[in-house]
Chains A and B, each alone.
Chain A
Amino acid sequence: MSSRGWAAAVTVAATIAATLALAVVFAAERHYERAFAFRIAGTTAAYVAAVTPPPQPPPPPPPAPRVVRGRRRPSIRPAPPPPPPQLAPLSPAARSYDLPSLLTQARALQTLPGWSSDVEVYFGTAPLVDATAPPLSPDDLSYLAAAGLWRAGRALVPLKDRDGQEVVGAVAVRPHPMPHGPLPGGIGFAFPAAILAIGAAAATAFRERSLRPGARGGYVGAALFLALATYLDVRAAARQSTDRWLVDTRRLLQEAATRLPPPRVRVAISDLAAIVRDGEVVAGEPADSPPRRVRVDGERRAVVAVLIGSGRWVELRSVPAELEAPRWLILLLPSALLGPLAILLLRWAERTPARLRRETAIAWGFLGPAGLHLTVFTIGPALYAIYLATAANLPALARDPVTWNALRNTALYALYVPVSVALALVAALAVFRYRQHWGGRLLSTAFVLPYVASAVVIALVWQAIYRWGSFGLGRTDWLSNTGSALPALMLISVWAHMGGQMVVFLAGLQAIPPAYLDAARVDGAGAWRGFWRVTLPLLRPVTWFVVLTGVLGALQMFTLVFVLTQGGPSPSHATGVMVHRIYQTAFGQQAFALASALAVVFAVMLLILRWPQLAILRRQVRNA
């Protein structure tokens, strides 16, 4: 590449990286603004619900929503659609709101001093604050029952009836845009840092003409600085979203203190706490007005002091949003580092012969689908499992006798493998000996059938057979008997797995050159000696393979237990094996962390057995 082209590439890469990082900052700011909007909308809905009394008993006609429609009539808009069905079931009167008071309360919101958003309250689909605004779409309203909605720059949350059952309307909040910058005047770090990073890259590239290691280090430094700057901005946005909520909620609480029905002298803190569902309200001290960060019982909290009534203070607390801001680094760091990464890639490409470069690109193209899938669906989940496991109480796990019992059962169960392998070897020898004869072929088919059948079918078949085990004496059958349940499962497994193992042995036998046995025969060995001295030693790798694979499979057995015994007969857990226990923990008790911890421990144990198996495979990989 020409040096000029090179420098241009560096600059372009730096620009793209910086743009990406800025885009992430932008996305994060939007995210936190929305988070704030949803949160304050939720709080507002709770506030409205708390301060609005139930409908006055007498004035039934006209029904409440009519009032709203009547107000709409002078508007120049076309007549609204016929009243949506939501308006009809208002009759269980006590649950709903007194519409005139609701109207008053909603309108009062607009006049709150220092309130940083536009708010609208819908009763049914009808807007209350700005009566000329378009009504809510009925679809949106019905959707609100399930979740909040973002519509046209506004957060929509449901307004429930007084006992929180049905959705009777909605609260919409459009946050006023606010500068997030940590610097005075709302200037962010990210933008200047991006300019700086691009400038630094371009300057170095055009002066140096090709990036020396020293200059490269400088460039990586600039990118890291960019990452840091963007992170600071994101963090500021997160912090601000909490602060805005605290300040706005303070206004709401102060309002609530005067408006809570019925009017009383002293409002109870619990009444206020009911409004702030995702925060805490506790008795507090007089304090400065801006929100602060404090530690409460070792946990970080954002707090603000609220003056309710004369000389009475409470403290409003919330989990600060910036606590989870670091997760944005997952996006910020890579996009900021994309610049240096691209440069390194270009540098590598520049130094690498065209052919290798081409081949590398093609190879990654070929690896792409599998690599992406493995990253997303295997490596990621494996790491996630480990992460989940850290939340589990490991000492308790180690003390749990059921866990140890499951481990013991798993190991005991795997003892069937030597039996089935030995039988499979005998069967393979018989089939091999009579492979030209109908008897041999029949035998091999008979053995392979259980191998082909699914485990659930096998379980059901044997369950039918084990009925005979009760000898008609009204006794429990083998599967329901603590002493016999596990051996009964092992017997099924021997029968089911012999076929597959036999097939592998057969392949191994076919791979033995007949010359070896001929040579042994020439040397005077009989059939028996030939087997012990020639066939068996030559089959050793196959045998190892079959045993290892069989044991690993046995240790991870699940289906038979799940279908036949559910880990029982309880309460002895006589057939509780590890995989079933993990399954039970996860999907029976919904204890995902505990299940992951069990799975991780179990995987580590399996690893010990996997090692020799992997060694075989690695040898194959290397030899090839």
Chain B
Amino acid sequence: MGSVTLRRLSKIFDGGIQALHDLDLDVRDGELLVLLGPSGSGKTTILRCIAGLEEPTGGDVLIGDRVVTRDPPRARDVAMVFQTPTLYPHLSVRENIAFPLEMRGTADAQVTRRVVEAATRLGIPSVLDRMPDTLSEGERQRAALARAIVRGPQAFLFDEPLSRLDAKLRIELRAELLALHRALGATMIYVTHDQTEAMTMGGGAGQRIAVLHEGRVRQVGTPEEIYQRPADVHVARFVGTPGMNVLQGRGRGTGEEGPVIEAGSLVIPVELSTYEGELQVGIRPEFVGLCAVDKGVGNVDVLVVEPLGSETLVHLNTGGQALVARLPGFADVRVGTRVGVKVDRRRLYLFDAAGVPLA
């Protein structure tokens, strides 16, 4: 009953910007689905369409098995938590949390009880009578969360609720949100552009991540699935820190050393019998190695070196295309030098020109 289904949802804004393209998504009852996508990919738009704050241009939104596409927000029974903690500045925390109950005409006695309950669950019963502008950022977001859970809606929509908090608080609240999900067993859609957060939030048993790119859902799956078997080049590029290297190249079946892909200054031998012409080749940074000049599949220029302690990211330029290598520990690479590149041929991902994986 608490499932959320989007059917061929599309949204074109007044300026003619199409934010969503015929999007299908199925969130099961009680599931925590993480919606991951780069900035501007339409995550917020999806949530607003589900919430009823935005009217879709086409397609349908179903909550449970009821079509709610044209219903106003209050007829939908979903709660939403926004990126910026939005408390009503003129109401105390208690009144803030009570607001949704009052709007639904809940009896006073019940309101008092449920407000305290929700506040306790989020660990803020002590600030109930303070005004929002006297609260810390974390308390404020907790109060906003309490306001969302207080009326026990069918589904929760979280729009990057933690992005404004500092790192420590973020980790703390993330864990609390997971606990909340377990305790309430409600359907939740959690939006983030931070894939570390996506992996943590979506990492539980039976949880999934949906990757969004330019208004389309590219892949829905477990963290492992989307990392190991990206459904297209966009997912590959976006997932991982840093994301997968994707080079534009050409497949040639008749190189001197057998079939090869020429990409930038690299010539990578592959088992490629079926494809000739334009394609894209992807390789994760951890499978890119450096070696002496002319010893690898090609030579590249070192642009930037980022020593991070446990690993070093080396940004390379191969014939005008960017390539990142991730080396363990501190690597002895100088900026401006020319080095050779090794790749793990078994870890290559091949996509056609349109970005669809080649079998």
User: What residues of B have a CB within 8 angstroms of the CB of A355 in the complex?
Assistant: 55, 70, 72
Query: Is A114's CB within 8 Å of the partner chain B?
Result: no
Question: Could you tell me which residues of chain B, from 64 to 78, have a CB within 8 Å of some CB in chain A?
Answer: 70, 72
Q: Nearest Cβ in chain A — how far from B175, in angstroms?
A: 38
Of all chain B residues, which has the CB nearest A353? Answer: B55
Interface check A354, CB cutoff 8 A: yes
Q: Which chain B positions have C-beta within 8 A of A353?
A: 55
Q: Shortest Cβ distance from A597 into chain B, in angstroms?
A: 47
Report the separation of the CA atoms of residues A157 and B72 in the bound assembly, to the nearest whole angstrom. 63
Within 8 Å CB of B55, what residues of A? 353-355
Q: How far is the CA of A354 from the CA of B55 in the complex (A)?
A: 9
Which residues from chain A contact B70 at a C-beta distance below 8 Å? 354-355
Taking CB as reference atom, which chain A residue is nearest B54?
A355
User: What's the Cα separation between A354 and B56 when bound, in Å?
Assistant: 12
Interface residues of B in 22-77 (CB under 8 A from A): 55, 70, 72
CB distance from B11 to the nearest CB of A (A): 12
Q: How far is the CB of A250 from chain B (nearest CB, A)?
A: 71
Q: In whole Å, how far is B3's beta carbon from the nearest beta carbon of chain A?
A: 25
CA of A80 to CA of B70 in the docked complex: distance in angstroms? 73
Q: Which residues of B contact A354 (CB under 8 A)?
A: 55, 70
Closest partner residue, chain B, to A354 (CB atom): B70
The total number of A-B Cβ pairs within 8 Å is 6
Give Cα A283–Cα B175 distance, bound, in whole angstroms: 109
Question: Could you tell me the distance in whole angstroms from the C-beta of B9 to the nearest C-beta in chain A?
Answer: 15
Give the distance in Å from the alpha carbon of A355 to the alpha carbon of B72 in the complex. Answer: 8
Mark interface residues in A277-299 (1 if CB within 8 Å of B CB, else 0). 00000000000000000000000
One digit per residue, 1 when the CB lies within 8 angstroms of any chain A CB and 0 when it does not, for chain B 63-100 equals: 00000001010000000000000000000000000000
CA distance A355 to B53 in the complex (A): 10
B349 to chain A, nearest CB (A): 43
- From residue 320 to 378 of chain A, which have CB atoms closer than 8 A to chain B? 353-355
Closest chain-B Cβ to A169's Cβ sits at a distance in Å of 68
How far does the Cβ of B62 sit from chain A's closest Cβ, in whole Å?
A: 18
Q: How far is the CA of A354 from the CA of B72 in the complex (A)?
A: 10
Q: Least Cβ distance of A352 to chain B in Å? A: 11
Nearest residue in A to B52 (C-beta to C-beta)?
A355
Closest residue to B70 on the A side, CB-wise?
Answer: A354
Complex CA distance for A354 and B68, rounded to whole angstroms: 13
Residues of A with C-beta under 8 A to B72:
355
* CA gap between A65 and B55 in the complex, in Å: 83
User: How many Å lie between the Cα of A187 and that of B55 in the bound state?
Assistant: 55
A356 CB, min distance to chain B CBs, angstroms: 8
Closest to A356 in B: B55
Q: B10 to nearest A CB, angstroms?
A: 14
Chain A residue with Cβ nearest B55? A355
Give the docked Cα–Cα distance between A40 and B218 (Å): 89
Q: How many angstroms from the CA of A354 to the CA of B52 in the assembled complex?
A: 12
CA distance in complex: A444, B70 (Å): 58
Kindly supply a per-residue 1/0 record for chain B positions 167-191, scoring 1 wherever the CB is within 8 Å of any chain A CB and 0 otherwise: 0000000000000000000000000
Q: A259-293 toward B: CB 8 Å interface, digit per residue (1/0)?
A: 00000000000000000000000000000000000
Contact indicator per residue, chain A 182-209, by CB within 8 Å of chain B (1) or not (0): 0000000000000000000000000000
- Residue in A closest to B71 when the chains form the complex, CB atoms: A354
In whole Å, how far is A506's beta carbon from the nearest beta carbon of chain B? 26
Roughly how many angstroms separate A353 CA and B70 CA in the complex, as a whole number?
A: 9
Q: How far is the CA of A250 from the CA of B70 in the complex (A)?
A: 73
Closest chain B CB from A354 CB (angstroms): 6
Q: Which residue on chain B has the smallest CB distance to residue A355?
A: B55
The minimal Cβ–Cβ distance linking A350 to chain B, given in whole angstroms, is: 14
Chain A stretch 557-590: residues in CB contact (< 8 A) with chain B: none
Cα distance A546–B336 in the bound complex, in angstroms: 62
Smallest beta-carbon distance A355→chain B, Å:
5
**Chain B residues numbered 192-218 whose CB sits less than 8 Å from any CB in chain A:** none
- Within the assembled complex, what's the spacing in Å between the Cα atoms of A390 and B118? 71
Cα A47 to Cα B229 in complex, Å, equals 110
- Closest beta carbon of chain B to A362's beta carbon, Å: 12
**A353 to B14 alpha-carbon distance, docked (Å):** 13
CA distance A54 to B55 in the complex (A): 87
B76 to chain A minimum Cβ distance, whole angstroms, is: 14
B50 to chain A, nearest CB (A): 15
Q: Shortest CB–CB separation between residue B59 and chain A, in angstroms?
A: 14
* Cα distance A355–B52 in the bound complex, in angstroms: 10
In the complex, A232 Cα to B86 Cα: how many Å?
64
> Once the chains are docked, how many angstroms separate the CA of A479 from the CA of B70?
73
Q: What distance in Å separates the Cβ of B185 from its nearest Cβ neighbour in chain A?
A: 32
B333 to chain A, nearest CB (A): 44
Tell me the bound Cα distance from A353 to B69 in angstroms.
12
Cα distance A86–B55 in the bound complex, in angstroms: 76
B118-148 vs A, Cβ < 8 Å mask (1 yes, 0 no): 0000000000000000000000000000000
Report the bound CA distance from A460 to B123 in whole Å: 67
CA distance A353 to B57 in the complex (A): 10
Q: How far is the CA of A354 from the CA of B71 in the complex (A)?
A: 10
Binary contact track A458-499/B, C-beta < 8 Å → 1, others 0? 000000000000000000000000000000000000000000
Docked CA distance A412–B55 (Å): 60
Q: In the complex, what residue of chain A is closest to B57 when comparing beta carbons?
A: A353
Q: How far is the CB of B28 from chain A (nearest CB, A)?
A: 29
In Å, the complex CA distance between A355 and B75 comes to: 14
Complex Cα distance, B289 from A67, in Å, reads 134
CB distance from A138 to the nearest CB of B (A): 60
* Shortest CB distance A466–B (Å): 51
Q: Which chain A residues (501-551) contact chain B, with CB distance < 8 Å?
A: none
In the complex, what's the smallest C-beta–C-beta distance from B45 to chain A, in angstroms? 15
Q: How far is the CA of A470 from the CA of B16 in the complex (A)?
A: 76
CA separation between A157 and B186, bound complex, in Å?
82
In the complex, A354 Cα to B70 Cα: how many Å? 8
What sequence of 0s and 1s flags, for each residue 96-116 of chain B, a beta carbon within 8 Å of any chain A beta carbon?
Answer: 000000000000000000000
CB distance from B246 to the nearest CB of A (A): 40
Report Cα–Cα, A353/B55, bound state, in Å. 9
Residue of B nearest to A358 (CB): B72
The minimal Cβ–Cβ distance linking A146 to chain B, given in whole angstroms, is: 56
Q: Give chain A nearest CB distance to B224 CB in angstroms.
A: 41
Measured between alpha carbons, how far is A355 from B57 in the docked complex, in Å? 12
CB distance from B315 to the nearest CB of A (A): 38
Question: Complex: how many Å from CA A405 to CA B70?
Answer: 67
CA distance A206 to B72 in the complex (A): 33
Q: What CA separation (Å) do A355 and B55 show in the bound complex?
A: 8
CB distance from B348 to the nearest CB of A (A): 49
B75: min CB distance to chain A, Å: 12
Once bound together, how far apart are the Cα atoms of A536 and B70, in whole Å? 55
Smallest Cβ distance from A41 to chain B, in angstroms? 62
A-B contact pairs, 6 of them (CB 8 A): A353-B55, A354-B55, A354-B70, A355-B55, A355-B70, A355-B72
B residues with a Cβ closer than 8 A to A are 55, 70, 72
The 6 closest A-B pairs by CB, nearest first: A355-B55, A354-B70, A353-B55, A354-B55, A355-B72, A355-B70
